[in-house]
């Protein structure tokens, strides 16, 4: 690889000097995988660095632009080569996340995050896609109780489920217990048709969906019947001691402080807990404090308990989801009159006009 300054016109400042860096890609790395369909990866790099020109010819890539940007793009391409070598498909979204990791100067390299295997199941591998997700997975490995707090689409429940299945396959635990509070989001359980079990089942469906992604659907009923996997409402946890289990509490923002205490004290020997929730989407009735919102203040200083906060940068759904989350956060600040960074209090949508 060589770096060669280009020729510039006489009045251009030194800070605007453009250099060229040539990168020779190893012959065993498929260029189609590195460049993307119709060079979509290269286009994404140029969108991330508007002053840089990237061109590929054979297995050689030339990067031309301001010296600082050229250095970053060269590092980015080195990271993307490692990602391709690990078998991860490159997309414009992967490139955007990798650029964010490099420009934010995070402690973790893009290749370290994007090639970390959590679980291989049903012909595909589940990996973290952002630094926040990698920190979350590391926290689950390092602590007995881990809280994953963040908005929709950040992979809180999905990654916790992957770690649970991994722990079961490795015989670190004997069973998986999945639970969430059956709190209505505008509807009343009593008005839904069917038996109590049929009424509760829709609240547990997201857990079943994640489970079916990681375990052969034909095996799930057998594992549930054998008690190896249990999916139940939070109310069913009362009075139990849960030993040798990987326990996930989903939608924890809809627990009261009493329910949160009840759940946490179910922890038995050889077990691990992951509690996930979004403190901005509380469906509890007025006057009831969310247990998720106060538990960090209560457990501060308690060893072997970790709180991981995920944000809009960790959203792995459509790009608009991240933008929507940021827009609501700004609206919350304006309506509540609070400074950025503080948690807004529960409130109803403000009424406009009179009654």
- pLDDT grade for 343, boundaries at 50, 70 and 90: very low
**Residues forming a β-bridge with 79:** none
Is the pLDDT higher at 240 or at 89? 240
Give residue 5's pLDDT: 41
What is the spatial distance between Cα 55 and Cα 38, in angstroms, rounded to a whole number? 13
The verdict on domain 126-336 having CATH code 3.40.50.300 is yes
- pLDDT grade for 198, boundaries at 50, 70 and 90: low
Specify the length of the chain in residues. Answer: 355
Give residue 11's pLDDT: 45
- For the domain with range 17-114, which CATH number is right: 3.30.1370.10, 3.90.45.10, 3.30.565.10, 3.20.20.70? 3.30.1370.10
Is the pLDDT higher at 288 or at 15? 288
**For residues 96-124, average pLDDT:** 83
Residue with tokens 């040539």: 22
**Residues forming a β-bridge with 179:** 232, 249
Report yes or no: 159 and 135 within 8 Å, Cβ to Cβ. no
SS (H, E, C) 53-100: EEEEECCEEEEEEEHHHHHHHHHHHHHHHHHHHCCCCCCHHHHHHHHH
Q: How far is CA 3 from CA 20, 55, 134, 200, in A?
A: 6, 15, 34, 63
Residue 115: other Cβ atoms inside 10 A: 19
- pLDDT grade for 36, boundaries at 50, 70 and 90: confident
Give residue 269's pLDDT: 96
Sheet holding 145-149, edge to edge: 229-233, 175-180, 245-249, 272-277, 145-149, 305-309
Task: List pLDDT tens digits, range 150-179.
Answer: 988 899 999 999 999 999 999 999 999 999
Q: For 85-114, b where at least 16 C-beta lie within 10 A, e where not — what string?
A: beebebebebbebbbebbeeebebbbbbbb
Token pair for 283: 């469906």
Report yes or no: 275 and 176 within 8 Å, Cβ to Cβ. no
The answer, yes or no, to whether residue 276 has pLDDT greater than 90, is yes
Burial of 347 (0-12, 13-18, 19+ CB in 10 A): exposed
What is the spatial distance between Cα 292 and Cα 277, in angstroms, rounded to a whole number? 7
Report yes or no: 136 and 108 within 8 Å, Cβ to Cβ. no
Contacts of 232 (CB under 8 A, 6+ apart): 177, 178, 179, 204
Closest by CA to 280, choosing from 174, 154, 95, is 154
The answer, yes or no, to whether residue 2 has pLDDT greater than 60, is no
Is the pLDDT higher at 183 or at 233? 233
The answer, yes or no, to whether residue 349 has pLDDT greater than 60, is no
Token pair for 242: 């849960």
The CATH 3.30.1370.10 domain(s) of the chain lie at: 17-114
- pLDDT grade for 201, boundaries at 50, 70 and 90: low
The CATH 3.40.50.300 domain(s) of the chain lie at: 126-336
**Residues forming a β-bridge with 273:** 145, 247
Give residue 195's pLDDT: 52
**For residues 56-82, average pLDDT:** 90
Find the range with the poorest average confidence among 37-46, 82-91, 134-143, 329-338.
329-338
The structure's pTM equals 0.77
Helix (H, G, I), strand (E, B) or coil at 121: strand
Report yes or no: 272 and 166 within 8 Å, Cβ to Cβ. no
Token pair for 62: 């030339």
Q: Output the CA angle 169-225-171, nearest 5 degrees.
A: 15
Q: Is 123 left (phi over 0), alpha (psi -120 to 50) or beta?
A: left
What is the spatial distance between Cα 221 and Cα 239, in angstroms, rounded to a whole number? 25
């Amino acid at each position: 690889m060589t770096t060669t300054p280009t020729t510039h016109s006489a009045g251009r400042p030194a800070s605007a000097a453009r250099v060229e860096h040539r990168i020779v890609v190893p012959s065993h790395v498929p260029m189609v995988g590195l460049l993307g369909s119709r060079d979509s990866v290269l286009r994404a790099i140029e969108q991330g660095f508007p002053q840089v020109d990237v061109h590929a010819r054979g297995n050689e890539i030339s990067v031309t632009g301001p010296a600082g940007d050229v250095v970053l793009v060269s590092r980015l391409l080195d990271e993307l080569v490692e990602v391709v070598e690990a078998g991860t498909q490159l997309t414009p979204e992967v490139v955007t996340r990798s650029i964010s990791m490099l420009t934010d100067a995070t402690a973790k390299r893009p290749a370290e995050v994007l090639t970390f295997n959590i679980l291989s199941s049903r012909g595909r591998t589940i990996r973290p896609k952002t630094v926040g997700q990698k920190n979350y997975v590391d926290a689950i490995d390092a602590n007995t109780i881990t809280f994953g707090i963040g908005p929709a689409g950040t992979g809180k429940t999905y990654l916790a489920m992957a770690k649970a299945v991994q722990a079961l396959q490795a015989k670190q635990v004997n069973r998986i217990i999945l639970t969430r509070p059956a709190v209505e989001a505008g509807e009343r359980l009593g008005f839904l048709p069917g038996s109590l079990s049929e009424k509760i089942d829709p609240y547990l469906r997201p857990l079943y969906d994640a489970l079916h992604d990681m375990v052969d659907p034909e095996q799930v009923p057998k594992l549930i019947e054998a008690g190896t996997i249990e999916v139940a409402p939070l109310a069913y946890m009362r009075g139990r001691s849960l030993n040798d289990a990987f326990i996930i509490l989903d939608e924890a923002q809809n627990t009261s402080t009493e329910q949160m205490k009840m759940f946490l004290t179910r922890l038995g020997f050889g077990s691990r807990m992951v509690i996930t929730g979004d403190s901005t989407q509380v469906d509890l009735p007025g006057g009831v404090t969310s247990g998720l919102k106060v538990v960090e203040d209560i457990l501060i200083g308690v060893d072997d308990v970790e709180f991981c906060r995920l944000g809009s940068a960790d959203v792995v759904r459509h790009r608009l989801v991240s933008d929507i989350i940021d827009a609501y956060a700004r609206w919350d600040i304006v309506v509540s009159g609070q400074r950025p960074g503080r948690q807004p209090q529960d409130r109803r949508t403000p009424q406009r006009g009179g009654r």
